[in-house]
Amino acid sequence: MEKKKINFSEEERAVLLDLLSRHRSVVENKRTDAASASRKRDSWKNIEDEFNSRHNVTPRKWTQLKKCWENMKDKWRRRNAEDVRERFATGGGTPPSSEMTDELQRVGDIASHMAVRLPNPCDSDRSRHDAMPGGSQSSNQLCTPSAAALLSQTQDTPLEESGGFGVATLYWLM
């Protein structure tokens, strides 16, 4: 039976993040061809050598370091999803501040491609809530083009002339 592995300390994770920030262009490359896979494996072996050369860390294999990195990215994804859920929660007021730790913020910086959201023109709620923290966009910029066209028509005319649909009503319909 294999002996239980020792958990990564906070200091070891910080060392790993420092090394990954230098090797991120290879390690986080999305290509999966043989040449890229070989470069990734070589890069992970270099990270292993640099990691194990430190005096304050437990010697680790590159597969263990890679698994720790994947676990940190998963933890970042879960925390980010929780932040999005909290931002969408009802109740009004200002959205709660993010509770990302410094370590998780560094993970997000190194693997910055994970934070990119694909635009969806059919999801007006997503764009409105994503724009909330900045707060500098007008209501026309926060909705789909067809809704923006309706809003621009009704904003210039009094409520009686527009058939009863004011900005508040259209905003509610989105």
**In the predicted structure, residue 81 carries a pLDDT above the cut 80:** yes
User: Taking Cα atoms as reference points, which of 171, 148, 151 lies closest to residue 162?
Assistant: 151
Question: Distance (Å, rounded) from C-alpha 132 to C-alpha 50?
Answer: 42
Is a pLDDT exceeding 60 seen at residue 90?
Answer: yes
**Ranges 45-59, 83-97, 112-126, 150-164: which has the least confidence:** 150-164
**In terms of C-beta distances under 8 Å and separation of at least 24 residues, what long-range contacts does 169-172 make, across chains too?**
171/139, 171/143
Averaged confidence pLDDT in the chain: 76
Q: Where are the domains of the chain?
A: 1-116, 120-174
Report percent pLDDT > 90 for the chain: 37
pTM for the predicted model, two decimal places: 0.63
Radius of gyration over alpha carbons of the chain, in Å? Answer: 24
Give the pLDDT band (50/70/90) at residue 164. Answer: low
